[in-house]
Amino acid sequence: MSGTKRPGDGLGPKAGEKRWKRKKIAPEIGSSFRSTGSHEEVLLQDVKLLLGEAHEPGTAPEQFSQVELSISMLGSTGDGLSISHDGTRVYVVPFAVPGDTVVVKVVKNFPSYSMTDLIEVIKPSKNRDDDLVFCRYFGRCSGCQFQMLSGDYQLQHKQKVIAKAMQNFSNLDPSLIPPIGGVMPSPLLRGYRTKLTPHFDGPRRGGFKEGAPVPDIGFQLKGRSFVLDIEDCPIGTDAVRDGFKSQRTFVKENLHTFKRGATLLLRETTERTFSPETIDGREAIRSYRDIKTCITDSKALVTEWIGRAKFISPAGSFFQNNNSILEKFTTFVQEQLVIPKLAGQDHSESYLIDAYCGSGLFSICCGHGFNGIIGVDISSQSIESARKNATENGIHNARFITGNAEAIFANIDFPPELTSMVIDPPRKGCDELFLSQLLKLGPKRLVYISCNVHTMARDIGWIVQQGLGKDYRIDKIGGFDFFPQTHHVEGYAVLSKNS
């Protein structure tokens, strides 16, 4: 695409809308600062990596000026990064690839870096393949960053992101960090998302009047604070894409009923019907047919199938959004939860604690072979779903309890030396109160799952550096590509406690 304009060139805000989304700037990372793993913190670490710790800030370029750059690195936030000719500043370039020569427009300056818009790719990188792009909104929508990159390139980059997260956010000596494993690919690179949440803005007061123009409905425009109108999102499943179209029509026909802007929920649900059993040799095989539809009511119940496991939960509750990878993912987690036996040992007992259990994903998919399972969550609604799902799937050795944040493990009586724990916290990770209680409990095996590898690195580092955590070693670190075409990666860390 040498010499061509990138999609989105020339876009600007509408009257009365802000041109640039204001962001909080992360403080310098110090020993007294507990990282939040925010976009700004992660970007700042990449800037430091390129410029060095002792760099002197240079003169900022004029706002809205155009600059020709060579992209030297793909940052952990998904943007291309380029160093200024004098080595004093980093330019952050969306939708750019290492090796690209580009023209950009400077839109906002910070002390050591400048945010830009990509105007033109003068000379494309050997790693860029624009024929891979499958969405007409790519280059403007903030949802995807990597459609011009091969699947293998994306996986290699995400492995580096995990490695940098451990280096920058764990505060651990490198000798304590094992080699970073590869990122397991998603079976689907598009059409995989079972949930989307497009939105639209409304008037400041008074609601929409009869005959009012229909607002843009979609996702945020890259780097801007207003919505890009989107008619279709091809990373969604077919059911979700159909639901997107019908919801756009619903909003247009019922706009006057909205008092303000809204976020639309699009969540896939699956109805599975089984055929009569047939005999093939020695065992009965039941075939089935799945009918997938889209749910838009957050309180309605949706059904997900992971292999033979069935999960029912409210549409507005959390559930992993890439069903295509979940069976391989949960099988892997189950394997990691097995406590290695020493020579001569023959423990017949083992137990599982599923913290942040939600609707019971790991308790049900990974609980085979354990004598007892306890799922813990602070959400009573999640615990109710988990109990029902365990019953639905014939799991009789599990109990689910609503935990209090100050004493979340108070009702757990499993012997710690025979207990494994899986934790899958939200993006912000675990707070120190939770981690302190975990260390007092002292499970033999710990599997940490995270959609934010930076807070994962922070928490794993904190565990290993505490007095009660000195006996834990990190066995494995790696990731799963839950989110192809985006910079996000699902990370995992496996820890064992020495006897």
For residue 340, the model assigns a pLDDT of 84
**499, part of any domain:** no
Residues 6+ apart with CB under 8 A from 66: 103, 104, 105, 106, 119
Same domain assignment for residues 98 and 205: no
Q: What is the DSSP string of 135-184?
A: -TTTTTBSS-S-TTS-HHHHHHHHHHHHHHHHHHHS---GGGSPPEEEEE
**Among the three residues 295, 313, 331, which one is the final residue of a domain in this structure?**
295
Inter-residue contact 363 to 393 (CB < 8 Å): no
Same domain assignment for residues 26 and 124: yes
Domain that holds residue 82: 4-128
Mean pLDDT, residues 145-153: 98
Beta strand segments in 301-346, E: 301-306, 309-314
Token pair 């710690």 is found at 416
Tokens encoding 392: 């639905």
Beta strand segments in 23-166, E: 66-70, 73-74, 80-83, 90-93, 101-109, 113-123
Same domain assignment for residues 211 and 98: no
**206, part of any domain:** yes
Same domain assignment for residues 209 and 285: yes
Cα–Cα dist 116/43, whole Å? 14
Same domain assignment for residues 219 and 122: no
Same domain assignment for residues 14 and 108: yes
For residue 342, the model assigns a pLDDT of 63
**381 known ligand binder:** no
Residues 6+ apart with CB under 8 A from 32: none
**Among the three residues 295, 325, 349, which one is the final residue of a domain in this structure?**
295
Inter-residue contact 106 to 159 (CB < 8 Å): no
Direct distance between the N- and C-terminal alpha carbons of the chain, in angstroms, rounded to an integer:
59
Q: Supply the CATH number for residue 57's domain.
A: 2.40.50.140
**171, part of any domain:** no
Task: Name the maximum alpha-carbon separation found in the chain.
Answer: 79
Inter-residue contact 498 to 473 (CB < 8 Å): yes
Q: How crowded is residue 261: how many other Cβ atoms within 10 Å of its Cβ?
A: 14
Question: Closest by alpha carbon to 329, among 454, 189, 466, 183?
Answer: 183
**149, part of any domain:** no
Same domain assignment for residues 118 and 8: yes
Tell me the pLDDT band of 26, cut-offs 50, 70 and 90: very low
Tell me the pLDDT band of 249, cut-offs 50, 70 and 90: very high
Inter-residue contact 227 to 200 (CB < 8 Å): yes
- Has this prediction a pTM greater than 0.75? yes
For residue 204, the model assigns a pLDDT of 82
Same domain assignment for residues 115 and 213: no
Sign of CA dihedral 231, 237, 239, 240: negative
Cα–Cα dist 398/356, whole Å? 15
Strand order in the sheet with 372-377: 180-184, 472-480, 490-497, 445-450, 419-423, 351-355, 372-377, 398-402
**100, part of any domain:** yes
Mean pLDDT, residues 265-273: 97
Mean pLDDT, residues 418-428: 96
Tell me the pLDDT band of 57, cut-offs 50, 70 and 90: confident
Inter-residue contact 337 to 445 (CB < 8 Å): yes
Q: Do strands 4-5 and 288-295 pair parallel, antiparallel, or not at all (unpaired)?
A: unpaired
Residues 6+ apart with CB under 8 A from 370: 350, 351, 352, 397, 420
Cα–Cα dist 237/431, whole Å? 34
For residue 284, the model assigns a pLDDT of 60
Number of domains in the chain: 2
Tell me the pLDDT band of 76, cut-offs 50, 70 and 90: very high
Catalytic residues, by residue number, are 451
Phi and psi of 456, rounded to 5°? -60, -45
Mean pLDDT, residues 370-380: 94
- Helices (DSSP H) in 254-374: which residue ranges? 326-337, 361-365
Token pair 């710990």 is found at 446
Inter-residue contact 114 to 136 (CB < 8 Å): no
**390, part of any domain:** no
Inter-residue contact 420 to 354 (CB < 8 Å): no
Question: Closest by alpha carbon to 128, among 158, 100, 167?
Answer: 100
Tell me the pLDDT band of 359, cut-offs 50, 70 and 90: very high
**497, part of any domain:** no
Q: How crowded is residue 364: how many other Cβ atoms within 10 Å of its Cβ?
A: 26
Inter-residue contact 247 to 296 (CB < 8 Å): yes
Question: Closest by alpha carbon to 190, among 230, 153, 240, 227?
Answer: 240
Inter-residue contact 475 to 496 (CB < 8 Å): yes
**465 known ligand binder:** no
Same domain assignment for residues 15 and 118: yes
**459 known ligand binder:** no
> Does position 37 have pLDDT exceeding 80, yes or no?
yes
For residue 276, the model assigns a pLDDT of 73
Tell me the pLDDT band of 15, cut-offs 50, 70 and 90: very low
**314, part of any domain:** no
> Does position 6 have pLDDT exceeding 70, yes or no?
no
Question: Closest by alpha carbon to 100, among 78, 77, 76, 129?
Answer: 129
> Does position 205 have pLDDT exceeding 90, yes or no?
no
**Among the three residues 295, 315, 338, which one is the final residue of a domain in this structure?**
295
**63 known ligand binder:** no
